[in-house]
Structure 1
Amino acid sequence: MEMIRFENPPCSNVDNLLDSYTSSVLNVLDTIAPVKVKMVNNRQKAPWRSEDSVRAQKRECRKAERKWRKSKLQVHCEIYKEVLCEFNQILRGEREKYFSKIIANCRNNSRVLFSTVNRLTNPPVSLPLELISTSKCNEFAIFFYDKVQGIKNAIISTTQIPTLPPARHLELTHFTPVTGKTIEEVISGLSSCTCCLDELPTRFLKSVLTSLLPQLVQFVNISFETGAFPKALKTTVIKPLLKKSSLDPKVLNNYRPISNLPFLGKVLEKVIYQQLTYFLLSNNVFDTFQSGFRPHHSTETALIKVTNDIRMNTNAGKVSVLVLLDLSAAFDTVDHGILLHRLENWVGISGTALNWFKSYLEDRMYFVEIGNCVSDKISMTCGVPQGSILGPLLFNLYMLPLGQLINSNNVSYHNYADDT
């Protein structure tokens, strides 16, 4: 694939630049791979069925079945049953080996490991046909919105407790321009999942990355320079997922929203995430007792800290009282004004860097997709995007004063954040 050139001269507006990139890519794609209507079999073949031993035994099984159906003899029926039993044993063995290999390879990657176990123990549940309609999509969209607004409105306003942000000697006023190597590493490290809003399938984009790299580098750097996040990448696609297979699929409250975001937006977020995390670690901004979405601070860290505190108290002859606090819709109810105040006064972000985060948070939209049906778009007036790369990190920064408040009352604590 040849180097793609913009239809119009490069500009300093990130939205215009993204539009130019999109139209140029689509024009080239329409030329070399025009859209054609094809009948596609969506049934995916299990990977372990492709093993030579499985395929060979399957041929023997079909051969024995044809012989029995042709002769109708009992002896051939018994032979067929024996061969079929051997086939099922081999199939189970290859399936076990397949997942054992995945689990062994993911020993140090808890996210992939838990995803694999969840896929095995909780197979996906198909939505009832009556839910696949535009009206139902709109019902889900309004339900998810009202649920968040209800929780947000129920938050009781109290007298503000004075908390002084720590003195920051360094500031993050702008983001550093990136090179093609950085973008290449970021894209190769991201999942190949594709959003319906993506003009190019992610796997295809990765395969032609060399041709697109100069434009992508310019796109990212213009976003940093102007402190603007493209409007076209602010839309989130939400798919309802039944919380448990045993729940009534007709009750909306039994579903959780699963978000998907455009791939180019994730590329931008990942580069920002890397630079912001480096700044936070260099300036010791993170809460000491914060786990989750922080390097080397996982669920194990939180469990070890809490367990150790309890044991230390027990050894000292003291009584421990464990209070567990879970915030409902924590990510969805983040106040944008408060978050920007945290970033400026607690973290030390200002200038175009702060403008970028303001642009990233404002004017976001979402719609619900079920099958081929979609809802109307709804504005997101609060919260950080679920399923985003920056969302969990921004939430941790949003909660920075909490540790100071708890610690001021001489109470041991440990915070943990997750995006589920």
Structure 2
Amino acid sequence: MLDLILTRGLSLHSCEDFDAGISDHCSVLFEPAVPYVQPILSQPVCSSRGFYSTTALDFSKFYSNFFTNSEVSLLPDMTTDQLVLIFNSTYSTALNTVAPLKPKKQKARSSPQPWLNASTRALRQECRRAERRWRKDGLQVSYKILKDSLTTYQKSVSTAKSQYFSNLIAMNANRPKVIFKTINSVLNPATCSAPVGNLETCPEFLGFFVQKVQDIRFHLTPPDMVHSHGISPINFTSFKPMTPSQFSALISKMKFTQCQSNVLPGRLIREVLDTISPALLTIINSSLTSGIFPESFKHASVQPLLKRSHFDPSVLSNYRPISKLPFISKV
């Protein structure tokens, strides 16, 4: 029996008390207004590709067989856009054959762990193999192997983490800002990140960024009011084709970034570069010779990033847009 109701964050309706006749306390009846929470029926499903140690070799074999001599003989008569179209079609076909898209449940992203290295990843794979073996046979010896593997992996991660932060502090001994930021990231890890993209948030970000660009353009000085200060413009009349050695040297210095516009993932481009470099060089030289930049290379995917990890992710003004261009367009 209750004489008093204590609530927090709830609204009460139809409160009344009455004597139940079995105690010297009164019974209190009430109706709380509990907000309805939409249940999560299932995890969002996305598509992903599986890349293995033999994927690059399988891609190279399929690409070489698919690109017949009849198609190569038509290359000199094609425009730059036609070359890009046929090469992208060939890449997509080869990639879908050796690494097809498969549905996969989307998991929450964990915070970055830069201290993980090849050794810790190998130990984690060993733990997974031991777990699958134990779940399959259910033997006590398999369970002991799993426990030993897990213990070894946890010790390796702890050692790698300690070594990572020790090196980071030693390298920035004279930079207190970096040290304080590192300590703060350990004691107060970021809990919010960019929201998962969906059909509802995309139009909101699009409208916000378009309006932001319009506001910036409105406050810019018109071109006819800008003084040139006597600087004459430089006009390029022609470009020299790139040689294979120049192309290889340039590619070796570039960073392979991931973009939705990339036909091939960055990690696969690095492994099959020897196979696809003649095709890429053909596209680049065609663009330099004709003076035409392919239309498909002018499109970028815009990704919103949170300006600070502690900012409210529900406020659009706390994001900044970054444009991701296809890898080949950067060459």
Assess, with a 3 A threshold, how the Cα gap between structure 1 residues 90 and 24 changes in structure 2: closer, same or farther: closer
Which residue number corresponds to residue 203 of structure 2? 138
Q: Structure 2: 5+ residue runs without aligned partners? A: 1-59, 128-150, 173-177
Supply the AA of the counterpart residue of 1:188.
Answer: S
* Residue 214 of structure 2: aligned partner: 149
Contact 1:236 1:261 in 2 (8 A): yes
Whether the 8 Å contact between 1:49 and 1:55 is mirrored in structure 2 is no
Residue of structure 1 equivalent to 2:137? none
Q: 1:20, CA displacement in angstroms? A: 1.0
Q: Is the 8 A contact 2:297 2:326 kept in 1?
A: yes
Q: Please say if residues 241 and 258 of structure 1, whose CA atoms lie closer than 8 Å, have aligned partners that are also in contact.
A: yes
Higher relative contact order (CA 8 A, sep 6+): 1
Question: Percent of counterpart pairs with the same letter?
Answer: 28
1:205-225 CA-to-partner distances (Å, cap 9, x unmatched) read: 221111112111111011011
Cα deviation, residue 120, structure 1: 5.7
Structure 1 runs (4+) greater than 4 angstroms displaced: 38-47, 49-52, 86-93, 99-106, 116-124, 156-159
Q: Is 1:175 the counterpart of 2:239 in the alignment?
A: yes
The one-letter code sitting in structure 2 at the alignment partner of 1:205 is I
Match of 1:125 among 180, 192, 197: 192
Q: Report the AA paired with residue 225 of structure 2.
A: Q
2:94 maps to which of 16, 19, 28: 28
Map 1:26-65 to 2 at 5 A: 26-31=92-97, 33-37=98-102, 39=104, 46=113, 47-48=115-116, 51=119
RMSD (CA atoms): 4.3
Q: CA-to-partner distance for each residue in 1:287-310, whole Å, 9 max, x for gaps?
A: xxxxxxxxxxxxxxxxxxxxxxxx
Amino acid at match of 1:133: N
Partner amino acid, structure 2, of 1:184:
S
Partners of 1:196 and 1:90 in 2: CA distance = 35
Whole-angstrom distance in 2 between the partners of 1:119 and 1:259: 30
1:15 to partner: Cα distance: 0.5
Q: What SS does the corresponding residue of 1:188 show, helix, strand or coil?
A: helix
Considering fraction of residues, name the structure with more strand: 2
Displacement of 1:256 in angstroms is 0.8
Of 67, 71, 75, 1:5 maps to: 67
The CA distance in 2 between the partners of 1:128 and 1:223, in whole Å, is 38
CA shift for structure 1 position 181: 1.9
- Contact persistence 2:193–2:306 (CA under 8 A): no
SS at match of 2:274: helix
Q: What CA deviation, in whole Å up to 9, does each residue of 1:143-180 have, x standing for no partner?
A: 11111111211235598365443468x86422221112
Determine helix, strand or coil for the equivalent of 1:256: strand
Aligned match of 1:224: 288
Deviations 1:193-245 (A, max 9, x none): 21111111111122111111211111101101111111111111112112123
Unpaired stretches in structure 1, ≥5 consecutive residues? 60-83, 107-112, 268-420
Displacement of 1:185 after TM fit? Answer: 2.2
Secondary structure of residue in 1 paired with 2:314: coil
Which of 241, 244, 252 is equivalent to 1:188? Answer: 252
Tell me whether 1:18 sits opposite 2:80 in the alignment. Answer: no
For 1:282, the equivalent position in structure 2 comes to none
Do the aligned residues in 2 keep the contact of 1:49 with 1:91 (CA within 8 Å)? no
2:326 aligned with 1:259, yes or no? Answer: no
Q: Where in structure 2 are the equivalents of 1:395-410 lying within 5 Å?
A: none
